Amino acid sequence: MNPRVLFLADQFSNAPRTAGASHPGGAELTDDAAIEACPWPVEIAKAADFDPARLDDFDVHVIGNFERAPSRLIRALAARGRHVMFEHDLRVCQWNGNFPIAWEKIHRQTQRCICPHPGFSALYKTALGTIFLTHRQLAVYQKNPFFELGPHQVLGSSLMNQAFFERVDAVRAQAEQTRDIDTAVIYSRHKIKGVKEAIEYCEARGVEPFVIRDMTPEGVLDTFSRTRRFVYLPAGLEPAGRVLVEARFLGASVISNPNAGVAGESWWNLDDAAALEVLRDAPARFWRFIEVWLEQDEAGARAPLKSVRVPPLARAIAPAANVVLRGCETFIPAKLVRAAHQNKVKRRAADASDVTLSGRLKESSAVSPDDH
């Protein structure tokens, strides 16, 4: 099998940067790592610029960090059904999973998406398969009452490129490492990333953290290799947690909470050497998933879609209910309308612990990255 691959995204890591996004994001870096590891001929293209007439030049279309695309491209992809959805955040959600900033009570308090996502629904229905980063991310999709899910797999983490593993190997080979940064946090303008909570955690312990801000991806990795402890306390769902992976394998102890998706994966609890091998295999695992789906499709054995039949009225009721709840929140004391789940969400955000400790103490064991 030597399929021709088209990798579509809104932009890639080499895109011209803006004042608000001066460096590539984690999704772009993960897409890059997938492209680098592709075992077949691959062409990359920005969704906004791609001519749908060229889709027939390829055997499989991988949809990466792709949230803004012309409707005619979406229709053309769905009509062919030769695509794979690669999920980075929660692209079916109007808030993209950033629940803490949602004005809707259902999203904000239950950390659950109820968006009908009409824009991408046809793509999920016709996809060869969907690849998720973590099981925690997958669970949010599965709980959406409007989401129809066909064949899918979970990678267990973000994808790292070969240069990252070379850097990790070099750091691990050093007999002594200079760690001149005691504690670091990473700045983000997104509330869900929990920078305020991380700084408060440090200050409560009499520590003034080093704030990683406006650095290139290479600068961030350099900082992690000099850091003893990295504090990252997302205020809500963090589908993956790429920075946790980077910090851990560059030698920092990681303080996080149960909102971080990667820390909930079984492989994360392996010792560092075994866990690193699971991580190292992830890019190749990505393409093995796709190879299996292509073979199943060629054999006429594509897994059926789990159909969700939602009456049109129900699709209208969900957002309308949020408007009513928002009104109640405005005029009625918050304690009378606060969902019990909100307290659980707050406890999860506050439940900070060293999520690298068990991985460093546990004996290596045969645990699949797909176990959960």
How far is 104 from 102, CA to CA, in rounded Å?
5
pLDDT tens, residue by residue, 53-88: 999 999 999 999 988 889 999 999 999 999 999 999
How far is 156 from 150, CA to CA, in rounded Å?
19
Across the chain, the runs of DSSP E, i.e. the strands, are 5-9, 42-46, 60-63, 83-86, 129-132, 152-154, 181-186, 210-212, 227-231, 253-256, 353-354
Q: What is the pLDDT of residue 189?
A: 86
Q: What is the pLDDT of residue 365?
A: 34
254 and 292 co-located in one domain: no
Which residues are registered as beta bridge partners of 183?
Answer: 229
Which of 175-179, 208-212, 312-316 is the most confident on average? 208-212
173 and 107 co-located in one domain: no
Residue linked to tokens 């009409």: 118
Residue 335 banded pLDDT, cuts 50, 70, 90: low
Half-sphere exposure of 158 (CA within 13 A, CB side): 27
294 and 254 co-located in one domain: no
Domain hosting residue 176, numbered range? 162-278+347-361
269 and 140 co-located in one domain: no
Q: Mean pLDDT across the stretch 341-345? A: 65
pLDDT greater than 80 at residue 232:
yes
Among the ranges given (130-139, 164-173, 287-296, 362-371), the one the predictor scored with the smallest mean pLDDT: 362-371
Residue 306 included in any domain? no
How far is 76 from 299, CA to CA, in rounded Å?
23
110 and 178 co-located in one domain: no
Provide the mean pLDDT of the chain: 86
Among the ranges given (113-122, 157-166, 254-263, 267-276), the one the predictor scored with the smallest mean pLDDT: 113-122
Q: Mean pLDDT across the stretch 364-370? A: 38
153 and 194 co-located in one domain: no
182 and 253 co-located in one domain: yes
Residue 92 included in any domain? yes
Residue linked to tokens 């405005």: 330
Q: What is the DSSP string of 64-133?
A: -S-----HHHHHHHHHHT-EEEE-SS-TTSTTTT-GGG-SSHHHHHH-------TTTHHHHHH-SEEEES
Q: Mean pLDDT across the stretch 107-128? A: 84
- Residue 302 buriedness (CB in 10 A; 0-12 / 13-18 / 19+): middle
Residue type, 227: T
88 and 181 co-located in one domain: no
pLDDT tens, residue by residue, 163-196: 999 999 999 998 777 899 999 999 988 888 999 9
Q: What is the pLDDT of residue 322?
A: 59
Q: Mean pLDDT across the stretch 132-145? A: 92
CA dihedral 277, 292, 4, 306 (to 10 degrees): -110
140 and 263 co-located in one domain: no
The CATH number linked to 262 is: 3.40.50
pLDDT greater than 50 at residue 224:
yes
Quick count: other Cβ atoms within 10 Å of Cβ 222?
14
> Could you give the C-alpha distances from 274 to 241, 264, 295, in angstroms and in order?
19, 16, 30
15 and 154 co-located in one domain: yes
How far is 182 from 132, CA to CA, in rounded Å?
34
Residue linked to tokens 């999860």: 348
Q: What is the pLDDT of residue 367?
A: 37
CA angle 31, 36, 37 (to 5 degrees): 100
21 and 135 co-located in one domain: yes
Residue 321 included in any domain? no
